[in-house]
Amino acid sequence: MKPRWITDWLQSPTGEVRLALRTTLAGLITFTLAHLLKLPQGYWAVLTSVIVMQASVGGSLKAGLDRMLGTVAGAIWGVSVTLAIPHRDTLTLGLTLAVALAPLALVAALKPNYRVAPVTAIIVLLSTTGVQLGPVNYAIDRVLEIGLGCLVGFAVSLGPASSRPHAPD
């Protein structure tokens, strides 16, 4: 039998409690799916589902679309730069990083929905796992993991405990 305070807390109508429960649920569902799908670094999917979870369905959809858009843009640019510029020592790696980072940083400054693009390009370029797998395979893994996190985060936001875009909390 559950202690009464747990039942009261779970039945609490506050938006904060609903968001906390949905965020936890999204993270756990994503963790399970990433494990079942044998994603190489499923923590990216779990992190994304938690990042995407917002107090409203509209907020979750926008956060997910922004995350996905930035990830795809950063992955494409990061792979392109990584393949185009040889970088076998620290100096050339630093120069390659500048080429990868500068244009995406400008785009993110002009269009905030691309703010994750520079991060993804950095991960593709500098990750030791990316070096082992190759930049294309590594970038594909990132996009798939981020996509899973976005899908789960949005799906959970549609659940019965969600706040609709214009509903007051």
- Residue 87, pLDDT > 70, answer yes
Measure the CA–CA gap between 85 and 135, rounded to whole angstroms: 12
What end-to-end distance do the CA atoms of the chain give, in Å? 30
Average pLDDT over residues 36-46: 95
Work out the number of other CB atoms within 10 angstroms of the CB of residue 32.
13
Indicate the average pLDDT of the chain: 88
Could you tell me the two tokens for 44? 């990216």
pLDDT digits (tens, 9 = 90+) for 126-145: 987 666 788 899 999 999 99
- The per-residue pLDDT for 37 is 97
- pLDDT (mean) for 4-24: 75
To the nearest whole percent, how much of the chain has pLDDT over 70? 86
State the residue for tokens 């999204």.
Answer: 26
Query: Hunting for tokens 């905030």 — which residue is that?
Result: 112
Within the chain, strands assigned E span none
106-121 pLDDT, tens digit per residue, is 999 999 999 999 999 9
More confident residue, 1 or 58: 58
Record the pTM: 0.80
- Domain ranges in the chain? 17-157
Of 79-83, 85-89, 154-158, 161-165, which gets the smallest average pLDDT? 161-165
**Structure tokens, 23:** 């965020």
The answer, yes or no, to whether residue 166 has pLDDT greater than 60, is no
Q: pLDDT value at position 5?
A: 67
